[in-house]
Structure 1
Amino acid sequence: MSTTADTPPGTPRWRTRLHAGSEQRPTPTAPLRFAFCGRVSTEDNQDPAASRAWQLNRATALIAPHGGQVTAEYFDIGHSRALPWKRRPQSAALLAALASPNRPFDAVVVGEPQRAFYGNQFGNTFPLFTHYNVPLWVPEVGGPIDPDNEAHDMIMSVFGGVSKGERNRIRIRVRSAMAAQTQLEGRFLGGRPPYGYMIIDLGPHPNPAKAADGKRLHGLAPNPATAVIVQRIFSEFLAGKGFFAIAETLTADGIDCPSAHDPARNRHRSGIAWSKGAVRTILTNPRYTGHQVWNKQRKDETLLDIEDVTLGYTTTLRWNAQAQWIVSDRIVHPPLVDDETFAQAQDIINSRTRTATAHGVKRTSNVYHLRGTFICSACGRKMQGNWSHGEAYYRCRFPAEYALANRIQHPRNIYLREKDILGPLDHWLARMFAPHRLDDTIELLAATPDIAPASGHSLRAEEARNTITDCDTKLATYRAALEAGADPALVTQWITQNQATRTRAEADLRTAQLARSTQLTRDDIAALAHAHSDLVMVLAEAEPADRAALYQRLGLILTYDSGKQKVLVEMNLNQHFSGTRGLTVGVRGGT
């Protein structure tokens, strides 16, 4: 066998044969399959359909000359670009698909890099594409990004910086415009009107485009029914009455408190009576002087996990100091009190104020196993968690003005220590779900007359399925992160928490699927009881957060009678069994 003419002398024969055998063997190439990745921030500010269309058109124009076609789409709607990929649902699903050998695409294409990557997100995400050998195509590069090309890396880093700068400029521009509109124009910028005022129409919006869309300019005007109450509060306070005394007289006179006057805007409040806090809020609101006020609160971005900065930030609402408030230069709506009256009220309040931690800064990290399950028998309200001397307590603080309004004999504070109830509670649950007692428990549940109808079961099943899907996506992402070199201990912790969440979701799904439109059968109840028995058996060894979640799954309702120092335990298993009474246990603690 002779060698080719261009083969250098002394070339090994095996190399010559390999070279000769590889010639003239064309292999047919199939169309390259692409996954399209895009994002639109909010439905209110942008049209998701139009945004998706133009991004997809750019991506298609890039890959079409190379014979590529889009076979999968991952398009996030309503998610900020500041969120990292693993916290955007569709982007996280794309990252999970990268690790799958059966993924329905060979490469990924984005329509606009500024919408896909923000800040240093490209540097945190692209290594996964390289690891799984999936090309990433970008229009600005003209094709796939070369991981060994410094120019490509620099271009994508610049786009991430441009994206971050664009978002910051928009935020600064909007805040500056709102500050100027408040200070110079005194414009009402939205939100609920203060008690004593109502919103009125002031004509077409000054922005021609918004006016063409039918938007109107609004302002504040005195509410005839409540403006006199505000003036009365200021008058009585300057006359020497305190917050509680004013609240008591208003309640005694049958005057609706702010939350009762406007219940549609205050669904989270009881509206039983005037509170001291409501009186103080009115006395410290400078809007009653006729000036517009803005920037009383701000949104801060704080790290979601200080141990892993790649998870990005979370938005937290916090109060600003009074010096940072933006107040209009002139009176823009009818005042309910004059400046001198308001200033006198502030002097009195400041003379009584004690130095305390800034409002809204403290965050609890303590775990309450029975959060949201305790009810005070005296007033019927839920008891709140309270951490004291290194232990978890549950407290019912019933303001005196509420007690007066409802003629309830209620101690000012009722306390119950958590550890005094956990032992008897776990013992009862273990007995109820023990293998030799499980049949009796099922009979007890089946004999309960008030079995809840299956309204909303489809929704609960869908939520459970979504949770399971989300857990599977996260699990694939965690495994990919582990393969990419992430901290094994941290990833293992994430996987453990994810699996616990998935187990609870599977139990929810089984429960919802067993529900009927009218009444559960005994077989259904037996299936539910057996499904929960496994959870009860691991209570003693569960982590605090998982243990608290298990109590929630069992639908426990604990009613505390402080006079008898007894706790009535009821179980509403997965909210299908109403009023399944358990036991009454004695606890220590007092009022």
Structure 2
Amino acid sequence: MTLSSAPLPQTAVQEQGLRFAFYGRVSTEDNQDPAASRAWQLRRAGGLVEPKGGTIVAEYFDVDKSRSIPWARRPRASALIEALKNPARDFDAVVVGEPHRAFYGNQYSLTFPLFEHFRVPLWVPEVGGAIDPANEAHDMIMGVFGGLSKGERNRIKIRVRSAMAAITATEGRYLGGRPPYGYELIDAGPHPNPAKAADGKRLRRLVPHPAFSLVVKWIFAQFIGGRGLFDIAEELTREGVPSPSAADPGRNRHRVQVAWSKSAVRVIVTNPRYTGRQVWNKQRKDEVLLDVNDVALGHTTKLRWNDRDQWVWSEQQAHEPLVSVEDFERAQAVLASRGHGPAVHKPHRTRRPYAFRGCLHCGYCERRMQGNWNNDQAYYRCRFPAEYALANTIAHPKVVYLREAEIIKDIESWLMTAFSPGRIEATVEAMVEQAGSTENPAATQLRKQLSTCAQRLNQYRAALNAGADAVQVAQWINETEQERARLEGELRAVPDDRVVSTDELREVLRQTSELAHAVVNACPDDKADLYAKLGLRMMYYPQKKLVEAKLVPTSTCANGVCPRGDLNPHAP
């Protein structure tokens, strides 16, 4: 039975000169090349519409977005949906080069009704043209492709997890991620996969760090001897021993690196990899509904801990142990004897709203202040242990408190005044005067890094001319050349600055003004989310009894770069 031979709508076949918008998607999590993927999907779409007189005039291509993400949460797909709603859109139909990439699960049945409603034909190669909403065969084909797409993703997930479990148990292979504190990575030979080995991929192996491994052994000895986690953390900070985040600052730029925390000591004491065994599957990724009242929004991924009986242990020692199995089990027994298991948080009967959640910072240490409910009122506090203050060389009170009711009216009054019509015009004039005088901060940073690469290359070449080891210097030069190529690619991807018209500025400020008014009039439960969207940042200076407030545009990871750095430098 050939389902694709069903008759197409006559209007779609006979009408010539249609203008098409192309939609495609690529996920880079499995090392796909976005440029190559876009090229073949676009070529396939063009091969469908061009013989029938069609022309692709617009492109909507999502990069680094999983197929499981619904259209409403894909940037370019949602932009395409918005374009459908515009009667003055610059295309007559939409063509998809690969249904597997565009639709997942039931996404087709949730999306195609919009194309029907706005009378925009959707073309796919699998039906040879436009989808006929009245044709059951077409609907069946698209439903099958959605199911196949979901099944393919699930099969890949199962195969990968099964392979990682087998490799951990039988080979004890290091599977990636940052090395535990006290270990470092060394080369362990070529990759066993011939194709990856031909590409230069290498295995890595854990070896004890000459200094930090001694710290781990000392921590276990002190803990088994009866000292508490916080007591150990205080002494390590007092003695100036680098904390785990300070030991690897490149991957921990987002963390406070000056002192040890109680949780850092606990992580070391409970990590079984210090026994020399490789352990995998301590955590899992669960997909949970983003909104139980709107299933169409899809799922979000939550990282959760597995029970110990689900961990996968290597059958043999995979690296040099820092503690014996007996000492590790003794430490777990000591930890268990000091409590009744992990604390269970009992949810409050009603959700306690904190209007400035995540927005208020301490003027002493610049950390975010935590919400604290006291006497049926919202407070914000900053607790800073004495050893942390000593390591920071700052005078910090043990606890800093601020009551929300003391500042919320002043903040709301300031927002209403800041976005009055008169202030908006003054802001537009100031921004126009400064236009063109500043460069994109991302581009500036990348140019500084490129300059550093150039300096290092000159130094390496000078060392080579002076008689240094040619093999070692060549390796340094190759690594720096690769880094420079990466930086140049990122610099090319940075959007060029463009002159923004005063009308556009007024529109942006007008929308911000509407958001500010929405904050003032919102219920307490919604204020925190609206303040976050507004970009509110406040600094509380207790010694001056002053709160400094400003609006800072919110930002996230750009171009897929993780703020923690590359967690898997060995991976392809």
**TM above 0.5:** yes
CA 1:71–1:244 in 2, change beyond 3 Å: closer, same or farther?
closer
Report the secondary structure of 1:53's partner residue: helix
CA distance in 1, matches of 2:361, 2:527: 22
Residue 97 of structure 1 pairs with residue 83 of structure 2: yes
Shift of 1:244: 2.3
Compared CA separation, residues 513 and 403, structure 1 to 2 (3 A): farther
C-alpha offsets along residues 384-413 of structure 1, whole Å, 9 cap, x if unaligned? 233456643211121343245457665544
Q: Given that residues 21 and 94 in structure 2 are in contact (C-alpha distance below 8 angstroms), is that contact kept between their aligned partners in structure 1?
A: yes
Residue matched to 1:474: none
**Secondary structure, in 3 states, of the residue corresponding to 1:260?**
helix
Structure 2: distance between partners of 1:125 and 1:281: 45
Distance in 2, Cα, partners of 1:308 & 1:430: 34
Alignment of 1:184-223 (within 5 A): 184-223=170-209
Over aligned residue pairs, what C-alpha RMSD do you find? 4.0
Match of 2:521 among 541, 559, 567: 541
Aligned counterpart, 1:557: 538
CA distance in 2, matches of 1:435, 1:145: 50
CA distance in 1, matches of 2:17, 2:388: 73
Corresponding residue for 2:254?
268
Q: Which amino acid aligns with 1:31?
A: G
Please give the alpha-carbon distance, in whole angstroms, between the structure 2 residues aligned to 1:434 and 1:57: 51
Mapped partners of 2:147, 2:402: distance in 1: 53
The residue number in structure 1 matching 2:158 is: 172
Q: Does 1:296 pair with 2:282?
A: yes
| Match of residue 54 from structure 1 | 40
Q: SS at 1:183's partner residue?
A: helix
Q: 2:130: which partner in 1?
A: 144
Hey, what's the Cα distance between the residues in 2 that align with 1:61 and 1:537?
51
Contact 1:368 1:548 (8 Å CA) reproduced: no
Distance of 2:113 and 2:101 partners within structure 1:
19
3-state SS in 1 of match to 2:545: strand
Distance 1:78 1:552 in 2: 24
In structure 2, the CA distance between the partners of 1:573 and 1:37, relative to structure 1 (3 Å rule), is: closer
Corresponding residue of 2:59: 73
The residue that corresponds to 2:546 in the other structure is 568
Kindly indicate whether the alpha-carbon contact (under 8 Å) linking 1:394 and 1:415 is maintained by their aligned counterparts in 2: yes
Bigger Cα Rg: 1
Deviation at 1:454, TM superposition (A): 6.3
Contact 2:515/2:530, CA 8 A, preserved across alignment: no
- Would the aligned equivalents of 1:37 and 1:91 in 2 still touch at CA under 8 Å? yes
Indicate the SS of the match to 2:28: coil
Please report how far the alpha carbon of residue 248 of structure 1 lies from its aligned counterpart in structure 2 after TM superposition.
2.6
Identity %: 58
Question: What residue number does 2:236 align with?
Answer: 250
- How far the C-alpha of 1:230 sits from its partner, in A, is 0.8
Aligned-partner residue type, residue 37 of structure 1: Y
Q: Does the 8 Å contact 1:554/1:571 carry over to 2? A: no
Is 2:519–2:530's contact at 8 Å kept on the other side of the alignment?
Answer: no
Aligned residues: 476
Q: Which residue of 2 aligns with 1:504?
A: none
Q: Aligned AA for 1:228? A: L
Q: Is the 8 A contact 1:119 1:160 kept in 2?
A: yes
State the distance in 2 between where 1:155 and 1:530 align.
46
**How far did residue 370 of structure 1 move?**
2.7
Tell me which residue corresponds to 2:311. Answer: 325
> Structure with the greater relative contact order (CA < 8 A, sep ≥ 6): 1 or 2?
2
Q: Does the 8 Å CA contact 2:238/2:387 hold for their aligned counterparts?
A: no
**Counterpart check, 1:382 vs 2:368:** yes
CA offset at residue 212 of structure 1? 0.7
In the alignment, structure 1 segments of 5+ residues that lack a partner are 1-27, 461-508, 515-523, 576-591
Cα 1:553–1:512 change in 2 (3 A) is farther
Q: Where does residue 399 of structure 1 map in the other structure?
A: 385
Distance (whole Å) between structure 2 residues aligned to residue 162 and residue 290 of structure 1: 42
Amino acid at match of 1:239: G
Matched residue, 2:485: none
SS of corresponding position for 1:140: helix
C-alpha distance in 2 between matches for 1:225 and 1:36? 57
Local SS of the residue matching 2:21: strand
